[in-house]
Amino acid sequence: MPHNSAENEIPLSFQSQQNDMDFQEYSEVFSFSDIPVLLFGETGNIFFANKAFHTIFRYPEDFMQASLDIGEIILPCDDQQGGSGRAQGVCDLFRPGTLIRVSVLDSEGSDFPSLVSIMDIPGSSLAAATIYPGSPVRPTPAGLHKEGTVHPSGNTESIPFALLETYPHAVIILSDAACRYSNAIAHKLLGKNAFRTNKIPKIRLVHNDFSELIEGLSLQGESSSPEPRMIEDQLRISKTRSIDVEILLVPSRDNSGNIMVVIRDITRKKQAESELLKRNSQLLMINEVMKVANSVDTLDEMLEEILETVLREMKFDLGWIYLRDTDAKWATIVASSGVPERFVETRMQQNVLDYPFNLVFFAMQQHYVDNLPNHPPGPIDSKVLEEIDALSYAGIPLISDSVVVGALYIGRRARYSFSTFEKKTLEMIGNEIGSTILRGILQDRLEDAYSDASLYLDIMLHDIKNANAAILGYSQRLKDHTRKEGIRYAGKVQWHTHHITDILNNVTTIRRITDESQEMTSINLDALITAEITQYPDTDISFMRTGCTVWADSLLSVVFTNLIRNSIKYGGPGVRIWISGEETDHEVTISVEDDGPGLSDEKKMQLFSLFQESNTNRGGRGLGLHITRLLIRRYGGKIRSDDRIPGRPDKGLSIRFTLRLVEETEDDAEILP
């Protein structure tokens, strides 16, 4: 709540001492209270006075600059000082949780008999003194009574009736189990039915019985000096509505037997406290997410930790995170938890232009899908709910500098909707962690760029250098031998020249993978494989047609080129090659097998590693298979190596990889050149 009143501003000295809490939230409650409030420290120094205090007691706005002690303004009554006067310390006289009778001095020295409630300020070393002031003038109660009220019994001089009649809160005076006085606010708050008789009014509390509270206070007065009591409860206004109230019960210390009851509506205070608790909870949640985000080294680990933390702390059942690709048209699932595996496979790459994902990625809106009886979700959202087996889900944009870098999706299986608090918290998380994720993305790209540069440099320094050295060596020997030997060495020169060409082709492929956007199209798999096989007329290659159309790009042919050449190169003379496919849900598994010497399990694990040395004398360092793995991952598939015959590595090698199928309704396959 914004305010400009100078008397409500927090002194800088106080703010610097209270750096362990956000006091501004509490100051808004105190500043606009119509009851005088002072905040004081452990030594008694006053740090804050609200507007009501300045108005009633007429202190100037700068009176706190004199470093006044609270004991100089609020003087406990003699019977509460135990005869020691000011000898008692602040901690003894103003104990938090107590209600004391005092005299409050105004700026002109007038004495206001009052009640003061002392309470702690959570998260601070300060305490609050809430003052319920009386009046320095003691008029007789004649003429103040309304219909249904009676003069209080016993000594009446201690009761400030002039103030009570205009007091902003409900005031009731009870004596001998009867209502002796009630002001206009009490009638308005409790209703006329509560005061039909002169007995104790009907005050319907949620957690306490009002009659028992009064009876307990009366019994206490018979055995000892009664002490004031303050409670918080809820007052039933109607069958469907209750309000938060603070009830102050003040027994008289004379022989009158009067009990003054002050009922204050604290609904706004409770709402402010509830809002403060919610905001603190949101801050704790964001701090926890940021802590785990900064405690891991890699982007993948960061996203997994963020997702798990959000699901755990906010009690969601499932979730996944999309990161936007460099071309900004596609997003890829990089972390998931509790989501069906089939959903992850089918939604691994998502076109962000499609509804409802465009709402999150382009409109930068939170997308909440509630599944309420009278407001069911649309058909597309209903399909998503069915795929993730949930009753409700939400998509939250992850924003950094007004750019959506990704999206957090969460879902529930037991609840149909999201609360306002949950929506606000998720929005704050999306705004806070977007920059952290972007830094992780940029760090990954920087590392990838460095790796690419190292890759190109290594190719130049090793493969091309070695190939050229071989050419020079064989050329020199060609000069020193007979014609027959010269032909053999000339063949070797030609082979190494082709090897240089292969190296350059591989570098070109890597650059295309790195630089070109992933524009996927439908490709007829059988036509592409058949075209590749025709390039090797001298090799025995068997192909079983698949009838499949897959999502890929023009580089898919490089996959089959590298695998066929690998089998020819290392399979030995007369090697036979088999190519086949097996269709499953949403994908096809392709196998390229040969009957060559095969590989041990240890070497199969290293087969796709960059620059893996071969144990032959034919050169080559595994770059082609590394490129093959990069391409399969580009297409959203997986690749692995196995024995052609399980358990018999000596009977040949089998390379298996998966490709995503094009649905039958999208049968517009084409062969890319």
- Could you please state the CATH topology (level 3) that the domain comprising 6-133 is classified under: Beta-Lactamase (3.30.450)
Which structure tokens are listed for 284? 């704790």
List the Cα angle 436/438/444 in 5-degree steps.
Answer: 110
pLDDT value, residue 48: 87
pLDDT value, residue 317: 94
Three-state SS string over 506-559 comes to HHHHHHHHHHCCCCCEEEEHHHHHHHHHCCCCCCEEEECCCCCEEEECCCHHHH
Whole-Å CA distances, 14 to 41, 66, 241:
9, 15, 40
- Could you please state the CATH topology (level 3) that the domain comprising 275-446 is classified under: Beta-Lactamase (3.30.450)
pLDDT value, residue 425: 87
pLDDT value, residue 72: 87
Say whether the peptide bond before residue 11 is cis (omega within 30 degrees of 0). no
Measuring CA to CA, which residue among 430, 408, 441 is closest to residue 286? Answer: 430
Q: Which residues of the chain have pLDDT under 50?
A: 1-22, 81-87, 136-156, 615-621, 666-673
Phi, psi of 476 (to 5 degrees): -65, -40
Measuring CA to CA, which residue among 514, 507, 523 is closest to residue 630? Answer: 514
**Residue 435: its H or E element:** helix 420-458
Tell me the CB-side half-sphere exposure of residue 146, using CA atoms within 13 A.
14
Measuring CA to CA, which residue among 561, 542, 552 is closest to residue 587? Answer: 552
Give start-end residues of each CATH 3.30.450.20 domain in the chain: 6-133, 161-265
pLDDT value, residue 517: 66
Which structure tokens are listed for 232? 């918080």
The architecture in CATH of the region 161-265 reads 2-Layer Sandwich (3.30)
Going by DSSP bridges, is the β-strand pair 37-40/127-133 parallel, antiparallel, or unpaired?
Answer: antiparallel
pLDDT value, residue 146: 42
Give start-end residues of each CATH 3.30.565.10 domain in the chain: 520-673
Which residues does residue 111 pair with via DSSP β-bridges, in sequence order? 105
Rounded CA-CA distance 523/533 in Å is 17
Rounded CA-CA distance 280/293 in Å is 20
Q: Where are the beta strands (DSSP E) in 141-241?
A: 170-175, 178-182, 229-236
Per 3-state DSSP, what percentage of the chain is helix, strand, and coil (rounded to 5)? 40, 25, 35
DSSP state of 253: S
Contact 286, 192 (CB under 8 A): no
Rounded CA-CA distance 570/607 in Å is 13
**Residue 119: its H or E element:** strand 111-120
DSSP state of 668: -
pLDDT value, residue 223: 52
Whole-Å CA distances, 123 to 17, 19, 31, 46, 368:
12, 10, 19, 18, 36
One-letter amino acid of 263: I
Contact 360, 396 (CB under 8 A): yes
Place of tokens 């058909």: 379
Rg of the chain over all Cα atoms, to the nearest angstrom? 41
pLDDT value, residue 25: 62
- Could you please state the CATH topology (level 3) that the domain comprising 520-673 is classified under: Heat Shock Protein 90 (3.30.565)
Rounded CA-CA distance 423/470 in Å is 67
pLDDT value, residue 479: 59
List the Cα angle 655/660/665 in 5-degree steps.
Answer: 145
Whole-Å CA distances, 279 to 124, 155, 286, 419:
18, 50, 11, 14
Rounded CA-CA distance 410/407 in Å is 10
Contacts for 218 with CB less than 8 Å, ≥ 6 apart = 251, 257, 259
How far is residue 369 CA from its own chain's centroid? 18
Measuring CA to CA, which residue among 522, 618, 512, 610 is closest to residue 565? Answer: 618
Which structure tokens are listed for 614? 């071969």
One-letter amino acid of 395: G
